[in-house]
């Protein structure tokens, strides 16, 4: 919707053509969010889909993966009930309640950080990452703690703030050795940063954040060097993306 407005409300067909013949456009083709939730731990894995036809393959892959991880067979599989009454979450089950929580958190991340709406996909992955590391009703531990059976480090939790990444290539003597980007999430190999000029996502391990730089509220903007992702954090992001 963002590029539709930026280009003077052109048609969707012309919007697709424009994305192929110009630079700087990043059309997000994802339309659906698929969630897999473990009923015991409440740990969730999400996937962003272009089509619902992707679901069967992802479901088979997910079942195979968790059976290997836990050395157990999946006992029962429950899916959304399309006949449930709208807005009645007590009838819609755990998946619907989780989806509502997830979207509320995505909205909060984008609004609080004043990030572009077209980063909703990265915000979705980050929101799920945060939910799994937050207390859950009816559980004495966080979902991530129960799933990975170890405590997790939350000192690296950020979204939408100014981030400076180390430039790996050779620079002239007095040129800056870091690049100003936007922190948007986590990857299996590091942190995900958005290059607003080139309209692309950059993944790097060396990041310094100014947490209060892009938020709507006054908060601490002291530079913070983020720690290297732990094994369980890298595994978590690999599962969801």
Q: Does any domain span residue 84?
A: yes
Question: Comparing 155 with 60, which gets the higher pLDDT?
Answer: 60
pLDDT given at position 144: 94
Is the separation of the CB atoms in 219 and 162 below 8 Å? no
pLDDT higher than threshold 60 for residue 191: yes
Query: What is the count of structural domains for the chain?
Result: 1
Q: Does any domain span residue 20?
A: no
pLDDT given at position 222: 55
Q: Does any domain span residue 236?
A: yes
Tokens for 213? 């730089």
% of the chain with per-residue pLDDT over 70: 67
pLDDT given at position 180: 87
Question: Comparing 65 with 166, which gets the higher pLDDT?
Answer: 65
pLDDT higher than threshold 80 for residue 18: no
Q: Does any domain span residue 179?
A: yes
Q: Does any domain span residue 70?
A: yes
pLDDT higher than threshold 80 for residue 170: no
pLDDT given at position 176: 64
| pLDDT tens-digit map of 45-88 | 999 998 889 999 999 999 999 999 999 999 888 877 544 444 44
pLDDT given at position 53: 93
Q: Does any domain span residue 216?
A: yes
| pLDDT tens-digit map of 211-232 | 765 555 444 455 666 666 654 4
| pLDDT tens-digit map of 82-123 | 444 444 445 457 888 898 999 999 999 999 888 888 888 889
As a whole number of angstroms, the distance between CA 60 and CA 191 comes to 28
Q: What is the mean pLDDT of the chain?
A: 78
Q: Does any domain span residue 151?
A: yes
Bridge pairing between strands 162-166 and 207-210: antiparallel
Q: pTM score, two decimals?
A: 0.73
Instruction: Look up the domain containing 172 and give its range.
Output: 31-240
As a whole number of angstroms, the distance between CA 98 and CA 100 comes to 5
As a whole number of angstroms, the distance between CA 169 and CA 235 comes to 28
């Amino acid at each position: 919707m963002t590029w539709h407005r930026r280009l003077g409300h052109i048609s969707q067909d012309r919007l697709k053509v424009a994305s192929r013949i110009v630079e700087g456009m990043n059309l997000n083709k994802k339309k659906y969010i698929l969630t897999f939730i473990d009923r015991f731990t409440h740990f969730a894995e999400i996937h962003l889909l272009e089509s619902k036809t992707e679901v069967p393959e992802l479901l088979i892959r997910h079942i195979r993966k968790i059976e290997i991880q836990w050395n157990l067979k999946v006992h029962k599989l429950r899916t959304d009930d399309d006949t449930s009454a709208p807005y009645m979450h007590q009838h819609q089950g755990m998946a619907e309640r989780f989806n509502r929580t997830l979207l509320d958190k995505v909205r909060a991340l984008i609004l609080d950080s004043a990030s572009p709406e077209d980063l909703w996909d990265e915000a979705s992955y980050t929101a799920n990452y945060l939910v799994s590391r937050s207390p859950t009703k009816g559980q004495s531990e966080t979902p991530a703690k129960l799933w990975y059976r170890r405590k997790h480090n939350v000192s690296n939790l950020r979204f939408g703030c100014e981030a400076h990444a180390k430039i790996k290539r050779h620079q002239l003597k007095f040129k800056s050795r870091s690049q100003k980007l936007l922190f948007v999430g986590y990857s299996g190999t590091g942190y995900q940063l958005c290059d607003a000029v080139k309209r692309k996502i950059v993944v790097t391990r060396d990041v310094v954040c100014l947490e209060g730089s892009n938020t709507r509220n006054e908060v601490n903007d002291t530079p913070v060097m983020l720690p290297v992702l732990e094994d369980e954090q890298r595994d978590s992001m690999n599962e969801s993306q």
